[in-house]
Amino acid sequence: MPVPGDPQPTPARVGVVGAGQLARMMGEVASDVGVELSVLATSEDDAAVATADHVVIGNPGDRHALESLAEGVDVVTFDHELVDLDLLEVLAREGITLRPDASALRFAVDKAYQRTRFAAHGLPVPRFVVVNSGSDPALDAFLAEQATAPVVKVARGGYDGRGVFFPERVADVAGLVDSLGTLVVVEERLELRGEVAQLVVRALDGSVAHYPLVSTVQSDGMCVEVRFPSDDPALAAPAAQLGHRVADLVGAIGIIAIELFVTDAGLVVNEVALRPHNTGHWTIEGAATDQFANHLRAVSGQALGSTEPVVEHAVMVNVVGADEPADPGAGRGVPGALVHDYGKAWRPGRKLGHVTAVGNDAAAARVTAWAGARAYGTRTREST
Ligand code: ADP
């Protein structure tokens, strides 16, 4: 316990590239974990401006803006992966500490790199080929083996389903690749039994802790609902094992979110994100240390907090702007609905907040979370 008169420990100064809802939620817990938070925002309206201690306005692709952020902090971290890896290498050479660093971030920034490296290390990924032209012979050879049309993903710059294409016929793929005019991953379209997400957090000393596995529900390429515990308890152990393997290979400091496909042949890795993740928002109410606190602890060199759950069930539903303006207050009117409003201006299709419900009854938590999200005004709909 601090004794009056004792010097307060100096807060670690962490700078976040990006000032969206993830940085905002880091800001909500920063002082609890002894962190002073700065954010690089593109405008005063960004979601994290309200919770940050300091704000630098600038573009994440601008060297001077990144240097201004770095000047006032001990370590720089990220709330999105739309970053310029070459520029980050330059900053690292200037002595700026990046956690995760550019070599780790490449796994999240570049799907072609991720698939190639994971496959080389024996991690389960969909069968794939990387091409930038529809007439590449490697594409012909790959397509010849596909019974159903594969999925085409731009290697860089996609998110929330943007940059992911599901052509109807194998014959449409070459034209699609040419029309995209960039490096793409073409991969087998798997028959999914479901999707799950494994969050792990890696500390500066390389130790790794994993959160409980969750089930995720996607609609139009966007996550709409997350459930703890995951639907199939038998997947928890293999998912955690995969999580640790990915963490060791990627070598990132902080939260590592791994999206996994559930198939008849077992778990298959879809994506990694090296930052707090939508599938971990339930940890705010549901785990001993939430993902935002653990990310800040990790990147500031502190020991990790417990990732154990503190509730039996949690359901999180995203609130995505509908045609009518949203009203977080109406969501809060639903008993048991724990409403998180990101303070963003309403716009159809925009992620505005989320609603979590916890309790001993999985079905009741789901009903409450969805009732809260509907009252708030989400355009997403519960799947049955
Ligand atoms: P993003 O990077 O935009 O989030 P993802 O690669 O995660 O895109 O794909 C979005 C969604 O599309 C996934 O959650 C999944 O539902 C579906 N999907 C992606 N790849 C495949 C695949 N190979 N087979 C079947 N479905 C897929």
Sign of CA dihedral 159, 163, 168, 169: negative
Residue nearest to atom 17 of ligand 1 (CA): 221
328 alpha carbon to ligand 1 midpoint, in Å?
29
Q: Band of the pLDDT at 3, cuts 50, 70, 90?
A: low
pLDDT of residue 36: 98
Mean local confidence (pLDDT), 298-304: 97
In order of start, what are the domains of the chain with their CATH numbers? 12-98 (3.40.50.20), 127-187 (3.30.1490.20), 194-376 (3.30.470.20)
**Closest Cα to atom 11, ligand 1: which residue?**
221
CA of 75 relative to ligand 1 center, distance in Å: 32
CA distance 139 to 276: 35
| Whether pLDDT at 351 is above 70 | yes
Q: Whose CA is nearest to atom 20 of ligand 1?
A: 151
Question: What does the pLDDT look like over 309-319, one tens digit per residue?
Answer: 999 999 999 99
Per-residue pLDDT reduced to its tens digit, 223-247: 999 999 999 999 999 999 999 999 9
Taken as a whole, the chain contains a residue count of: 384
pTM assigned to the model: 0.95
Residues with CB under 6 A from ligand 1: 126, 151, 153, 158-164, 187, 189-190, 192, 195, 218, 221, 259, 270-271
Contact 186, 140 (CB under 8 A): no
- Stretch 243-271: mean pLDDT: 98
Question: What residue's CA is closest to ligand 1, atom 8?
Answer: 161
- Give 333 Cα–ligand 1 centroid separation in angstroms: 34
343-350 own/partner pairs: CB under 8 Å, 24+ apart: 343/24, 343/47, 343/50, 344/21, 344/47, 345/45, 346/321, 346/377, 347/321, 348/321, 348/322, 348/323, 348/379, 349/320, 349/321, 349/379, 350/320, 350/321
